């Protein structure tokens, strides 16, 4: 699958965006953690500087015999007590920051998942056409989980290390600017090497995250298609393809970790080299007393040198998780950056009352009468049009991409109560037409009118609320049978649910389930037959009681006997409604008001069942199997 997401490939920008997300979620917690980390760093720096004070104020005077024993040791005791209290404050700050980071980390991950899911629900159908479900799931699971260590450990360590570097650098400059310059030269070489290796490693980590998504998608696809795999004995072929994908993942992971793992030993050894160079050069300065540099300065300076090198070494140790987390964050933000489904509609669907003159007024209670509320910006007036289900296509052209048109000059009208059937070969454009009615996609040319209103003026949610859809591929959700039927109308009563099931012909088999309507459905209805799942889907559409029905191969998975039962229920359901039917089984469309024959995105024939047979054209061939005259 082609990866259509944009990748920033800018780790600094991605890190900044991630931190911004964390800070906006928990501003107070982050402020307290920052203060605690700074306190811990300052405490450690003061403890190191105490070594110089100890030598200058106590050890050296004691060796020279100038230290007053009682007063000097009393003052030293108070100093040691002060240092102990300072370290106690540092320990408490570390404890508090760690506790707060647990809340910040888990809370941020929760908000990330909530934001991802909320945004995903606003994306157009086209996004899900372009991206495999397994790859999308990988963003929620693997990519989101990579942020955990980044937020809980890496980010606090980065902050702590930055403050450590700053305090160490300031202390080193105070002790000896000359020796500090020597230390910085070695550090500059080390950071240059780390930056080069990290850049190359990041490329492979991004590839690794993408490969994980691919392999997750393949596993999900294989699990769902196990029956097909076993029927056609394709186990060996499936294993070969999985091995190929796993090998690609192995290579990208090996290259990413290999480069990242090189950094740590290089940085560690350069840190030791820096320590040795500073010790030698500092010893030379102390022995010769250059710039007043003494042994008392060298001891803390060497400690600060180690502290200055330590953050860089620690950063190299966490380089793997940081780069991997940033690669995952890129994919998360790529999904969040996907453009939401546009909805510029302003016509809404409302409950209405109709008086004796036929005038409509809006009301809060449900009356069984629906109306389109159409505000007019020109004069500020509002008109109400009764929802009837009158749909008209006028010279409609459509293509999933601008360079390939799949529907050409489609003209049709469906009056309330009419049943319009679409027949034709696979790929002729039958399902595409119905997808345009509910605005899963927008047309490039022409107009579609619903009760005389251009559907682009109608809010998508209100438009779709007026439509009932039964798809060929039935999808059931976790919950009871009643819950799945009630999905068509969330506030439906138990009586309405049962009535819808009876109408669809599903009540008989539901009543014989272990717990009837309270039977739990699992695994997308794995404990039901395909026909039973289809009946529940039809009942789900029936309970919504919509004025327009779209039946996309609604009875394709039902046996002949069950089809007869369902057809009677469907006839009752379709009465007084506009119905669009897509069917390969032509016996189900014989009683349609109009049958439209599509071929390569064009309406080639239209008419009743009898008239089309008399014409002996494409429909005649499809229905009888005989060659058209």
Spatial distance between the Cα atoms of 69 and 419, rounded to a whole number of angstroms: 108
The DSSP output letter for 457 is G
**Residue 523: per-residue pLDDT:** 67
Spatial distance between the Cα atoms of 318 and 160, rounded to a whole number of angstroms: 14
355-401 pLDDT, tens digit each:
888 788 888 888 878 899 999 888 889 999 999 889 999 999 999 88
At 235, list the tokens: 């186990």
Q: In what order do the strands lie in the sheet with 602-607?
A: 467-470, 548-552, 578-582, 419-424, 594-599, 602-607
Nearby residues of 547 by Cβ (< 8 Å), 6 or more positions away: 370, 387, 388, 389, 416, 466, 577, 578
Angle, helices 177-224/235-288, rounded to nearest 10 degrees? 170
Confidence band for 4, pLDDT divided at 50, 70 and 90: very low
| pLDDT at residue 475 tops 70 | yes
The DSSP output letter for 57 is I
Nearby residues of 520 by Cβ (< 8 Å), 6 or more positions away: 478, 479, 480
| pLDDT at residue 629 tops 60 | no
Short-list 335, 331, 337, 333, CA closest to 143: 331
415-457 pLDDT, tens digit each:
888 889 999 888 888 889 988 998 989 999 999 999 999 999 9
| pLDDT at residue 1 tops 50 | no
| pLDDT at residue 147 tops 70 | yes
Confidence band for 2, pLDDT divided at 50, 70 and 90: very low
At 605, list the tokens: 């024939």
Partner residues linked to 603 by β-bridges: 598
Confidence band for 316, pLDDT divided at 50, 70 and 90: low
88-144 pLDDT, tens digit each:
888 888 888 888 888 888 888 888 889 988 898 888 888 888 888 778 888 888 888
Nearby residues of 189 by Cβ (< 8 Å), 6 or more positions away: 270
Of 70-79, 532-541, 565-574, 585-594, the poorest mean pLDDT is in: 70-79
Spatial distance between the Cα atoms of 585 and 567, rounded to a whole number of angstroms: 13
Higher pLDDT, 564 or 96: 96
**Residue 463: per-residue pLDDT:** 92
29-66 pLDDT, tens digit each:
888 988 888 888 777 766 666 666 665 565 556 655 55
| pLDDT at residue 261 tops 90 | no
Spatial distance between the Cα atoms of 87 and 15, rounded to a whole number of angstroms: 32
To which residue do tokens 């980590």 refer? 205
288-298 pLDDT, tens digit each:
777 666 666 67
Residue spans of the domains in the chain: they are 11-336, 348-386, 417-431+465-624
Is the CB of residue 454 less than 8 Å from the CB of residue 490? Answer: no
**3-class SS at 304?**
helix
Angle, helices 560-574/494-504, rounded to nearest 10 degrees? 120
Confidence band for 597, pLDDT divided at 50, 70 and 90: very high
Confidence band for 354, pLDDT divided at 50, 70 and 90: confident
Spatial distance between the Cα atoms of 313 and 319, rounded to a whole number of angstroms: 10
Higher pLDDT, 523 or 594: 594
Share of the chain above pLDDT 70, in %: 82
**Residue 232: per-residue pLDDT:** 61
- Top CATH class, 417-431+465-624: alpha beta
Angle, helices 27-54/295-317, rounded to nearest 10 degrees? 150
C-beta atoms surrounding 26 within 10 Å: 19
CA 254 to mean position of chain CA atoms = 27
| pLDDT at residue 410 tops 90 | yes
Spatial distance between the Cα atoms of 265 and 305, rounded to a whole number of angstroms: 18
Spatial distance between the Cα atoms of 191 and 180, rounded to a whole number of angstroms: 16
Nearby residues of 199 by Cβ (< 8 Å), 6 or more positions away: none
Is the CB of residue 120 less than 8 Å from the CB of residue 133? Answer: no
Q: In the CATH scheme, what is the code of domain 11-336?
A: 1.20.1560.10
Mean pLDDT of 71-94: 75
**Residue 51: per-residue pLDDT:** 61
The mean pLDDT value of the chain amounts to: 80
Mean pLDDT of 12-33: 86
Short-list 364, 355, 368, 360, CA closest to 546: 368
Highest mean pLDDT of the ranges 206-210, 358-362, 460-464, 552-556: 460-464
Between CA 121 and CA 128, with CA 126 as vertex, the angle to 5 degrees is: 60
To which residue do tokens 């000097």 refer? 72
């Amino acid at each position: 699958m082609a990866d259509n997401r944009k990748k920033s490939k800018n780790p600094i920008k991605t890190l900044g965006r991630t931190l911004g997300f964390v800070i906006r979620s928990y501003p107070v917690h982050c402020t307290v953690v920052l203060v605690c980390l700074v306190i811990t760093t300052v405490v450690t720096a003061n403890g190191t500087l105490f070594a110089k004070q100890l030598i200058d104020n106590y050890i050296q005077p004691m060796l020279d015999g100038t230290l007053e024993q009682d007063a000097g040791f009393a003052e030293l005791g108070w100093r040691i007590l002060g240092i102990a209290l300072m370290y106690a404050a540092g320990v408490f700050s570390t404890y508090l920051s760690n506790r707060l980071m647990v809340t910040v980390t888990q809370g941020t991950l929760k908000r990330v998942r909530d934001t991802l899911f909320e945004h995903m629900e606003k994306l157009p159908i086209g996004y899900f056409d372009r991206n495999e479900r397994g790859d999308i799931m990988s963003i929620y699971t693997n990519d989101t989980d990579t942020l955990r260590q980044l937020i809980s450990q890496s980010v606090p360590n980065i902050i702590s290390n930055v403050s450590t570097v700053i305090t160490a650098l300031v202390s080193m400059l105070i002790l000896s600017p000359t020796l500090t310059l020597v230390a910085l030269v070695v550090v500059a070489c080390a950071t240059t090497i780390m930056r080069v290796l990290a850049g190359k490693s990041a490329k492979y980590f991004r590839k690794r995250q993408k490969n994980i998504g691919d392999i997750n998608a393949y596993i999900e696809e294989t699990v769902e298609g196990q029956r097909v795999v076993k029927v056609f004995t394709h186990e060996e072929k499936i294993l070969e393809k999985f091995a190929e994908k796993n090998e690609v993942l192995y290579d990208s992971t090996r290259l990413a970790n290999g480069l990242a793992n090189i950094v740590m030993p290089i940085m560690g050894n350069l840190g030791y080299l820096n320590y040795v160079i500073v010790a030698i050069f500092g010893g030379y300065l102390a022995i010769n007393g250059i710039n007043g540099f003494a042994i008392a300065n060298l001891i803390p300076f060497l400690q600060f040198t180690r502290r200055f090198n330590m953050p860089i070494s620690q950063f190299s140790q966490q380089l793997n998780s940081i780069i991997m987390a940033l690669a995952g964050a890129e994919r998360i933000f790529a999904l969040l950056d996907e453009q939401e489904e546009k909805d510029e509609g302003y016509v809404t669907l409302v409950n209405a009352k109709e008086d004796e003159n036929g005038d409509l007024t809006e009301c809060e209670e449900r009356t069984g009468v629906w109306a389109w509320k159409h505000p007019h910006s020109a004069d500020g007036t509002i008109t109400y049009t009764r929802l009837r289900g009158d749909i008209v296509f006028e010279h409609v052209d459509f293509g999933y991409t601008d360079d390939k048109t799949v529907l050409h000059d489609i003209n049709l009208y469906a009056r309330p109560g009419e049943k319009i059937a679409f027949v034709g070969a696979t790929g002729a454009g039958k399902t595409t037409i119905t997808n345009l009615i509910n605005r899963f996609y927008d047309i490039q040319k022409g107009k579609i009118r619903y009760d005389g209103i251009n559907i682009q003026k109608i809010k998508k949610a209100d438009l779709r609320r007026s439509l009932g859809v039964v798809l060929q591929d039935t999808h059931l959700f976790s919950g009871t049978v009643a819950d799945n039927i009630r999905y068509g109308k969330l506030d439906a009563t138990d009586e309405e649910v049962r009535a819808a099931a009876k109408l669809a012909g599903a009540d008989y088999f539901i009543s014989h389930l272990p717990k009837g309507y309270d039977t739990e459905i699992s695994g997308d209805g794995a404990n039901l037959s395909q026909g039973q799942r289809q009946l529940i889907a039809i009942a789900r559409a029936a309970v919504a009681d919509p004025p327009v029905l779209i039946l996309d191969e609604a009875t394709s998975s039902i046996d002949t006997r069950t089809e007869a039962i369902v057809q009677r229920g469907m006839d009752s359901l379709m009465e007084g409604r506009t119905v669009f039917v897509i069917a390969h089984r032509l016996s189900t469309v014989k009683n349609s008001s109009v049958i439209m024959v599509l071929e390569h995105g064009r309406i080639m024939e239209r008419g009743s069942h009898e008239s089309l047979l008399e014409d002996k054209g494409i429909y005649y061939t499809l229905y009888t199997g005989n060659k058209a005259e």
